[in-house]
Amino acid sequence: MKNNRFAGLVRPALHDLTPYHVPVHTGVVKLDANENPYDFPAGLLTEIFGRVDGQTLVRYPDAEARELREAIADYHGLTAENVFVGNGSDELILNLFLTFAVGGRVLIAEPTFGMYRIHSVIAGAEPVAVNRDPDFTIDSERLHYSTLNAAAQVMVLCSPNNPSGNTIPVGTVERILDWFGGIAVVDEAYFEFCGKTCVGLLERYPNLVVLRTFSKAFGLAGLRVGYMLAHPDVVQAVWRVKQPFNVDAFAQLAALAVLEHRSLFEPQIAALMKDGAVLYEQLRALPGVEAYPTEANFILFRTPHDARAVYERLLANGVLVRDLGGPGLERCLRVSIGKPEENHQFIKALGATLGSRL
């Protein structure tokens, strides 16, 4: 940024912000992004394309995503007024911060999904980290103390947490909501893998926001569809910063079809969790590896070696995982649960990596 001729025009808070960068690697086993590795159901894909007509692409999409919002509301036993649909969860997070946190503070239970911090800075808010315990659980008393000192407008909790895979007990979230007066965001992007949710608290806590996505269990990562569940007053407030036509027509009809046929994904979800349990035990069996229990479709693990060195050696052997080495995640990497043959190739490559000189 220092050598950029326009650096003087850029907001100072953005000078040290590292953009979110995802390098593209071809010809590798891709286990870095917590995606559903299975092919999208062929019959459902045919049905989705069958819903596209000559007007689908030439007209602007429904700016309110009404049909999709109504279907999501039915899925959760809520009303369409409780639902806001976005271009992936990232847009929802940014819109929430733009609505409630500009010029204020966002409390983030870390280590967690890095985009919470990035979006808060982009929105002109100050991110305030509250450390999780060494086992990545939430200390509600520490969070309470930090909130009193930070006077935060928004708090973000991820459950299951990315990258650690552990959930936050609903009772803990409830205790937090009893004293927190700002907007409490619980990101449940991986809900379908664990079945644990705070949605039942929405009726009693109007400041609660629950985030969900079609990108993980439902295999729509390529189309970017996320949604939030919240009190209608929160939804209406966020609507003021929403971009017009933010979710394209094809993404809307695809998400609607997925929701209608979500039972098709249940075997995939069950297989991923079953294979994940096997992968977890295989990781634990490797000398020097510490694997963390997970309730999502990924596993966090720590090795005795520098995370970047392990990452590069795995990549050289055709396996792409996520390097997380940093404060609170020293020597840690995250592997998405893949198909059995992909998991086997990963374990084989990791065993060879750890047995070599790094």
> Which of 199, 175, 204 shows the shortest CA–CA distance to 186?
199
pLDDT at 133 over 70: yes
Helix %, strand %, coil % of the chain (to 5): 40, 15, 45
pLDDT at 5 over 80: no
The three-state secondary structure class of 132 is coil
- 111: exposed, middle or buried (C-beta count within 10 Å: 0-12, 13-18, 19+)? buried
Q: Given this model, what pLDDT does residue 2 score?
A: 63
What number is the average pLDDT over the span 87-97?
97
Cβ(152)–Cβ(131) below 8 Å: no
Give dist(CA 211, CA 140) in Å, integer.
20
Cβ(353)–Cβ(36) below 8 Å: no
Q: pTM of the predicted model, to two decimals?
A: 0.94
Give dist(CA 100, CA 172) in Å, integer.
23
Q: Given this model, what pLDDT does residue 38 score?
A: 97
Give dist(CA 358, CA 353) in Å, integer.
8
Quote the distance between the C-alpha of residue 113 and its chain's center.
7
CATH 3.40.640.10 occupies which residues in the chain? 54-260
* Least confident span in 12-21, 69-78, 115-124, 214-223: 12-21
The three-state secondary structure class of 18 is coil
Give dist(CA 276, CA 282) in Å, integer.
10
Handedness of CA 108, 229, 241, 114 (dihedral sign): positive
Residue 145: band (very low, low, confident or very high) from pLDDT cuts 50, 70, 90:
confident
pLDDT at 7 over 80: no
Residue 43: band (very low, low, confident or very high) from pLDDT cuts 50, 70, 90:
very high
Strand ranges inside 139-262, DSSP E: 154-158, 183-187, 208-213, 226-230
Q: Given this model, what pLDDT does residue 58 score?
A: 95
With b for 16 or more beta-carbon neighbours within 10 A and e for fewer, the 284-298 pattern comes to eebeebebbebbbbb
pLDDT tens digits for range 207-265: 999 999 999 999 999 999 999 999 999 999 999 999 999 999 999 999 999 999 999 99
CATH 3.90.1150.10 occupies which residues in the chain? 22-40+265-354
- Calculate the alpha carbon distances from 166 to 113, 143, 192, 323 in Å: 13, 17, 14, 19
Specify the amino acid at residue 3. Answer: N
What number is the average pLDDT over the span 108-122?
95
Cβ(215)–Cβ(189) below 8 Å: yes
Cα atoms in the 13 Å half-sphere on the side-chain side of 7: 8
- φ/ψ of 187, rounded to 5, equals -90, 110
The three-state secondary structure class of 134 is coil
Q: Given this model, what pLDDT does residue 1 score?
A: 60
Average per-residue pLDDT for the chain:
94
pLDDT tens digits for range 59-91: 999 999 999 999 999 999 999 999 999 999 999
pLDDT at 200 over 90: yes
Fold of 54-260: Aspartate Aminotransferase; domain 2 (3.40.640)
The three-state secondary structure class of 5 is coil
pLDDT above 70: percentage of residues in the chain: 99
pLDDT at 357 over 80: no
Give dist(CA 343, CA 283) in Å, integer.
11
pLDDT at 358 over 80: no
> Which of 198, 296, 249 shows the shortest CA–CA distance to 85?
249
- CATH 3.90.1150.10 at 22-40+265-354, yes or no: yes
Q: Tokens 């809900």 identify what position?
A: 191
pLDDT tens digits for range 273-331: 999 999 999 999 999 999 999 999 999 999 999 999 999 999 999 999 999 988 899 99
pLDDT at 140 over 70: yes
Residue 355: band (very low, low, confident or very high) from pLDDT cuts 50, 70, 90:
confident
Q: Given this model, what pLDDT does residue 299 score?
A: 98
Q: Given this model, what pLDDT does residue 94 score?
A: 97
Q: Tokens 């552990």 identify what position?
A: 166
The three-state secondary structure class of 3 is coil
Max CA pair span of the chain: 59
Q: Given this model, what pLDDT does residue 281 score?
A: 98
